[in-house]
Structures are given as C-alpha cells and as structure tokens.
Amino acid sequence: MSIFVESSDVLPLVDLEIALPVGSLQDPAGQEGLAQLTGHLMRRGPRGLSQERFEDRLASLGARMSVEVSMRSTRVRATVLRRNLEPLLALLADVVWQPALRGSDFSKLKRRAAAALTSRLDDDQALGAVCFREALFGEHPYGRTLSGDTDSLARIGIQQVKDFYDRNIAKGAFLVGVAGDVADTEVRSLIASHFPKARRAKKKRSDVPATRSRRGRHVVIVDKPERTQTQLLIGTLGARTRDRNLFPLLVSNTAFGGTFSGPLMQQVRGVRGWSYGAYSRLLHSTQRDAWYMSTAPAAEYSADCAALQLELLEHWVGGGTKNTDLRFAQRYLINSHCFDRDTASKRLEARLDLELLDIPRSYVEKYDQLVARVTKQQADEATRARISDKDLIIVVVATASEVASSFERLPGVRSVEIVPFDRT
C-alpha cells in the first residue's frame, strides 16, 4: 500500500520518487532553513562515496537525481535508463538511509545558502513574496521562509542537521513511487530487496494551528532605492484543502484573475496598460493558506493600480461572478487539467500527493466533475465566505519616498510600515 506504480512503455525510462512527510514545518523555531539544508546535504551522496564519485556513478547509470524540500514534504526524485533500474534503486536507498552528511559538504552548502539569500535581495518579486507571507501569517509556521534567513542559518551546524535527519527521516514514514517502463510485480520485488519496509504516515489531525487574519488593511513598503517598476501583492487568507468551499472558490478565482480574459487582467493590463501581468492565485493547505493578487506596475502608477485592484476585489466579493466568466473558467480548468495527467510520472505525482498531503481522493479522481458542477450561487457564496475585501495585506516593493504618501491614502488603510529591503 506504500508503493505506487504507473506503468508506461512509451520510453525505456523509469522515474523514481521517495516521498517523505518532512518539510520546513518541522524546522525548530529560530532554525528556519534546516529541512532544506538537510535535504540538499543528502543529495551530496551516501557514505563511502565522495560527491565526485557519487556524481560519476549517477552519470554511468544514465541517471539524474534531485531533492526537493517544501513546506510539508521532502521528495527524492530520479530518472534512469530502464536497464539500470536496479543499481539506481540501491544507490537511492543509500542516499536516503545511509547519507554521508559530511561536515565539509555542509560548510559549502551553508555558504551557498547564505549567498542565495544575498542574491534574493536583487529579486524584487521574491522579496515581495517573502514579505507578503511574513506580513500575512506573522508568527504562524506558514509565515516561515523555506530557506531561512541570515540569523537562522547562523544557528544551524552539522550537528543540527544530523539531529534533524535522525529525528524526522532515518526511521520515519515514507512512500515510494515508480513510473515508466516497469511492471508492478517487478518493482515491488526490487524495492523489497533494497529498501527498508515502506512505512506509511498515519493519518492524523494536523498539529499546525489555525491561521488568522489581521483586521483591516495594512500596507508594507519594502523600501528599495531607484525602483522605476514596483512589485505589488494584495491578499488575505484563502481556503483549506479539506474545505467544502475549495472547488467553488477555485472556479470563482479562475474567473476573476486566473486567465488572460478575466476582469483583473483586462482592467489592469488591457484597459490601462499598468502591468504586463495581473493574476490572482489561490493556495490551500491543512489550514487556510493565502489568496493574493500580483501585479508589477510602474512606480508612478503603483498606488493607482492598487486602488483599482481593491475596487475590482470589492466588486468580485460583493457582486459575484458573471455567468459567462464562470462557464469560461470551468472549461479552462477542465481542458487544462488533461496536461496534469498526460504522462505516467504526472499521474504518479498526483497519487503520491493524495497520500502525502492528505488530499481527498475525489480531488484527483473526480476533478472534472467537481469543477463542472459548481453553480454561480456556490461560487459567489464561497467567495464571500472565504475572501475578505476588508482584511488585507498590501505589500509593495518600491522606493518608499516616492510611493508612501499615495499608499497611505488608499481606502481603509489602517497602517503603513516601511521595511528596508536588505532586512527582509
């Protein structure tokens, strides 16, 4: 039950994944970035092989490998030529359950992580996204950054990584997925030969506390010199994964700001030309995650663009979605969904997500039906129930002296905070 296989003989390749229910939510307070560092250090190879020899071994098998750490999971993924499946399985087992975790490798990774934080200062979009989540979620775990910050990295040493590995990965639950040119019985036999007995994570109620909105509209200006173009994010809490409003809200949000023809894009870009892109995005997790609008207007239009987006948001929440926009959104979601399941590896990923992230099975197996049967009344009620046009976080990456006064005058704003860009 913990091994998932999607067979396909289209190509003589096999995709492998070891999925662990361990992510940045397990980072101890003050040591944000620990889960990511642990995953990246595992990627440096198993005991008995230097990193160079490990990379040579992968190349000799015609394989590639990656480790991806997110808020709720760590995914060890590899692709290999069909004829080399068994030796790669043995190598992956050593990577996960016999990692070298060398201090010398850790020092290099930590320097690279610190350099990445410095590089992020040049990425206005990334700065805005980090600041938005911090402002929206505050001290809640969802407000933590995956890569941590300068202070949290300074608190992490090789011993913290080893302790994190022993506590969360060494004897923890995991799932195995295999997709491609293999038979189910063959895969199970090979995995039994090389892996520990697969342990499925027990379903349990989330120990992540509920997220809560901050009352009123609050502006955070990430102050960066000489910004001719700004990054603007406006949002609030969205939905939970196990929320009866999720699919109606998904359709409603797609109609509002999920496509090029939606009113958000048409009014911001089509009519006024203030931003090349204008989209809204709905996230969901165990607790309510974020919903937000994202634009990138020129500094001179930034406050006007924000005011327009607030008007569009109020109209959407209060007035609902047009029937024509709703039907278009449903067709768009259903037609594009086929690209989420057109390969064996994508179908495998969906099955692993069901188990790892506690997503209801119907969300995958009956996606088209759930989207198609959303009514206008359901969409409008879900929007009013979950999207607040009064409790909002407004984040803009800009030169504060040029935009602060105009953002202070936005309707309903209770506070304006200016944050130096190099302290985010």
Question: Mind listing the pLDDT tens digit for each residue in 319-360?
Answer: 999 999 999 999 999 999 999 899 999 999 999 999 888 899
What pLDDT sits at residue 50? 95
Mean pLDDT for 94-119 is 96
User: Is the CA virtual torsion 260, 265, 271, 272 positive or negative?
Assistant: negative
Please indicate whether the domains covering 3-194 and 217-423 agree at the CATH topology level.
yes
Reported residue count of the chain is 424
**What is the average pLDDT across 250-266?**
97
> Is residue 386 over pLDDT 50?
yes
Q: What is the pLDDT of residue 197?
A: 76
Question: How many CB atoms sit inside 10 A of residue 411's CB?
Answer: 9
Average pLDDT over residues 202-213: 77
Q: How far apart are the first and last CA of the chain?
A: 44
- Average confidence score pLDDT of the chain: 95
Q: What is the pLDDT of residue 198?
A: 59
Stretch 383-406: mean pLDDT, rounded?
98
pLDDT band at residue 301, thresholds of 50, 70 and 90? Answer: very high
Helix, strand or coil for residue 155?
coil
Model pLDDT, residue 201: 57
pLDDT in tens, 358-372: 899 999 899 999 999
Q: Angle between the 400-408 and 302-319 helix axes, to the nearest 10 degrees? A: 30
Q: What average pLDDT does the segment 402-412 reach? A: 97
User: Band of the pLDDT at 1, cuts 50, 70, 90?
Assistant: very low
Average pLDDT over residues 165-182: 95
Q: What homologous superfamily is domain 3-194 in, according to CATH?
A: Metalloenzyme, LuxS/M16 peptidase-like (3.30.830.10)
135 vs 199, higher pLDDT: 135
Tokens read off for 400? 């504060």
d(CA 152, CA 141): 14
Q: How many CB atoms are closer than 10 A to CB 361? A: 10
The overall longest dimension of the chain from CA atoms, in Å, is 67
* Cα dist from 49 to 36, 189, 212, 264, whole Å: 22, 26, 47, 53
Residue 270 sits at φ, ψ, to 5 deg, of -65, -45
Q: What is the mean pLDDT of residues 183-196?
A: 91
- pLDDT value at residue 357: 87
Cβ-Cβ contacts under 8 Å for 391 (sequence gap 6 or more) = 213, 214, 215, 216, 217, 236
pLDDT at 200 over 80: no
**Is residue 278 classed as helix, strand or coil in its secondary structure?**
strand
pLDDT score, position 140: 96
The answer on pLDDT for 176 being more than 60 is yes
The CATH class given to the 217-423 domain equals alpha beta
Is pLDDT above 70 for 199?
Answer: no
Give the model's pLDDT for residue 223: 98
Please, what is the Cα angle at 115 between 66 and 162, to 5 degrees? Answer: 55
Per-residue three-class SS string for 46-104: ECCCCHHHHHHHHHHCCCEEEEEECCCCEEEEEEEEHHHHHHHHHHHHHHHHCECCCHH
Q: How confident is the model at residue 203 (pLDDT cuts 50, 70, 90)?
A: low
Q: What are the backbone angles phi and psi of residue 279, rounded to the nearest 5°?
A: -135, 160
Which two structure tokens, joined as six digits, stand for 183? 């038979």
What global pTM score does this model have?
0.93
Residue 171 has pLDDT above 60, yes or no: yes
pLDDT of residue 20 exceeding 50, the answer is yes
Q: Strand pairing of 175-180 and 3-7?
A: parallel
CB 418 within 8 A of CB 221: yes
From the list 338, 344, 339, 341, the residue with the least C-alpha distance to 12 is 344
**423: pLDDT confidence band, cut at 50, 70 and 90?**
confident
Domain ranges of the chain: 3-194, 217-423
HSE, CB side, 13 Å, CA atoms: give it for residue 60: 9
pLDDT at 259 over 50: yes
Give the pLDDT of residue 397. Answer: 98
